[in-house]
Amino acid sequence: MPEQKIIIIGAGLAGSLLAIYLAKKDFRVEVYEARPDMRNAEISAGRSINLALSDRGIAALKEVGMDEYMLREAIPMLGRNIHPLTGETRLLPYSGRQGEYINSVSRAGLNVALMNEADMHDRVRFFFGQKCVGFDCRTGEALIENAETGEKTSLKGDTLIATDGGGSAVRDSILHGVPRFNFSQTFLEHGYKELHIPPAPDGGFMMEENALHIWPRHQFMMIALPNIGGSFTCTLFLAHECRNANGSERALLVQNGGNAGRSERALSSFDQLTSEQTLFEFFNTHFPDAVPMMPTLADDFFTNPTGSLGTIKCFPWNVGGRALLLGDSAHAVVPFYGQGMNCAFEDCRVLDSLIDKHGADWETVFTEYGSARKINTDAIADMAEENFYEMRDAVADPVFVRKRELETKLEQTYPDYFSKYSMVTFREDMPYSVAKEKGNAQDRLLMEICADVENVSAIDLNYVMELTRGIPTN
Ligand SMILES: Cc1cc2nc3c(=O)[nH]c(=O)nc-3n(C[C@H](O)[C@H](O)[C@H](O)COP(=O)(O)OP(=O)(O)OC[C@H]3O[C@@H](n4cnc5c(N)ncnc54)[C@H](O)[C@@H]3O)c2cc1C
């Protein structure tokens, strides 16, 4: 077979990993990235500073020999450390089994490591400051604009894979160039802002290092992931506007502690936090334990952008054998399961196995890939949205806390018990769609059981286990 050239658009997490996979199969790979080379330029990797890497992502990194390196650079997070408004923090382990945890990694660190590894292959070439501004669905040509000169060039390979993220330019061209292309984008009313907790004066961590911290406050929440070096990156998830999409004012009323029966309107959206006074009023009310650890809160808050959170679904992902959408360009999800990148890495793994099966018959590879993958990316998109409500509301609900306790006991006692979270996060052998179906049925059952008892020790584990084993997995 003559040597094939594959064009990748976007050198983010998925594009850089995919370049390694394809180079290992002896394809010639050209990667066009809109931004400058982050290895030379002082730029952030874009959105979030750190990410949770879990088993599906690790499985893909393992296939290209990068898992051990990345895990050495990661901080294990063993569970969710819940910060209630009053009282002690408590750790809810992610799993009752040893060795099942997620890992906080630097987005930029991971991206750079993947690019460096891809660069070790002679067959891979990166082109930075080269933005794709169009794709011709009929000919398979991509139009690339040089960021410095504005000059535009047409390129064509044997095929093209678009890993240009949630705002994909290639997907935009497909939307206008392919009849009956299905596309939907739904935004949450909530956006996000990154904030910072520095290391303690002695260089250590100011909070528990091996945990993902959560401040669940029903209408909004804050989370924090640890970084190597002792700091934490916090993300505040909050409604963009105090008015709902239908124009009515968001009804967040708080009971006024000293005046029983009297309520007052509370700050509950980004558009209300316009001054240091409102910002500190909001933080002192809802995150009083965090404020003393955030000396640069006001600076961070007013300097850092407010990001939007959305789900993108579209199909088909392939244009004949001429192009394929992969990663966020095909299926951006909200970040509440910590799976967007893990799912994009699993995409690369599945695609690689189909190339093993069909070689460079791109139309067959891409069609089979879409059939295998769509049901699963839809499932993780749905679970990610549902998990927003779980993290925001349920972790503060006593029935949910008992349910997590019961699940931890089940996982400690029975090797074949997996919570929905564990199926998604630690079972890279289980498709997301199966995890969703079985996990939801299991959740309903366990919540019912826990609603009826005050104490988890009153529950007959054997009986529960028998019931969960009866839940079908297809
Ligand atoms: C706040 C937040 C937290 C998250 N946390 C997690 C987490 O904990 N765990 C997890 O698994 N996932 C997480 N995610 C999701 C994760 O970031 C994405 O799923 C992942 O980055 C997708 O990788 P990608 O390569 O498809 O897209 P991206 O990482 O977005 O990469 C796209 C690349 O394409 C480039 N590009 C864009 N347009 C063009 C163009 N026209 N021409 C050329 N290049 C272009 C971009 O510059 C970028 O380098 C989070 C997301 C957010 C927003």
DSSP 207-244: S-SSSEEEEE-SS-EEEEEE-TTS-EEEEEEEES-SB-
Q: Of the residues 160, 164, 173, 311, which should be mutated to test ligand 1's pocket, given the most ligand atoms within 8 Å of the CB?
A: 164
Q: Residue 233's closest CA among 193, 191, 266, 175?
A: 193
pLDDT above 50 for 279: yes
* Alpha carbon distance 167, 440 (integer Å): 31
Residue 97 is predicted with a pLDDT of: 85
Ligand 1 site, residue 9, Cβ cutoff 6 A: yes
For atom 48 of ligand 1, which residue has the closest CA? 12
Residue 292 is predicted with a pLDDT of: 97
Ligand 1 site, residue 406, Cβ cutoff 6 A: no
Strand, coil or helix: 300: helix
Mean pLDDT confidence for 93-112: 93
What percent of the chain has a predicted confidence (pLDDT) above 90?
84
Ligand 1 site, residue 11, Cβ cutoff 6 A: yes
Task: Give residue for tokens 């599906």.
Answer: 56
What's the 8 CA to ligand 1 centre distance in angstroms?
15
Residue 267 is predicted with a pLDDT of: 86
What's the 207 CA to ligand 1 centre distance in angstroms?
28
Residue 438 is predicted with a pLDDT of: 96
User: For the chain, what is the mean pLDDT?
Assistant: 92
15-39 per-position pLDDT tens digit: 999 999 999 999 999 999 999 999 9
* Alpha carbon distance 160, 162 (integer Å): 6
Q: How confident is the model at residue 260 (pLDDT cuts 50, 70, 90)?
A: very low
**Out of 32-36, 263-267, 455-459, least confident range:** 263-267
Mean pLDDT confidence for 204-211: 98
What's the 55 CA to ligand 1 centre distance in angstroms?
18
Residue 127 is predicted with a pLDDT of: 98
Ligand 1 site, residue 13, Cβ cutoff 6 A: yes
Atom of ligand 1 lying closest to residue 10 CA: 34
Q: Of the residues 8, 18, 20, 47, which should be mutated to test ligand 1's pocket, given the most ligand atoms within 8 Å of the CB?
A: 47
What's the 165 CA to ligand 1 centre distance in angstroms?
5
Ligand 1 site, residue 327, Cβ cutoff 6 A: yes
Residue 446 is predicted with a pLDDT of: 96
Buried residues in 225-246 as b, exposed as e (16+ CB within 10 A):
bbbeebbbbbbbbbbbebeeee
DSSP 292: G
Q: How many residues does the chain have?
A: 474
| Identity of the amino acid at 243 | R
pLDDT above 80 for 256: no
pLDDT above 80 for 43: no
Mean pLDDT confidence for 418-444: 96
Residue 244 is predicted with a pLDDT of: 67
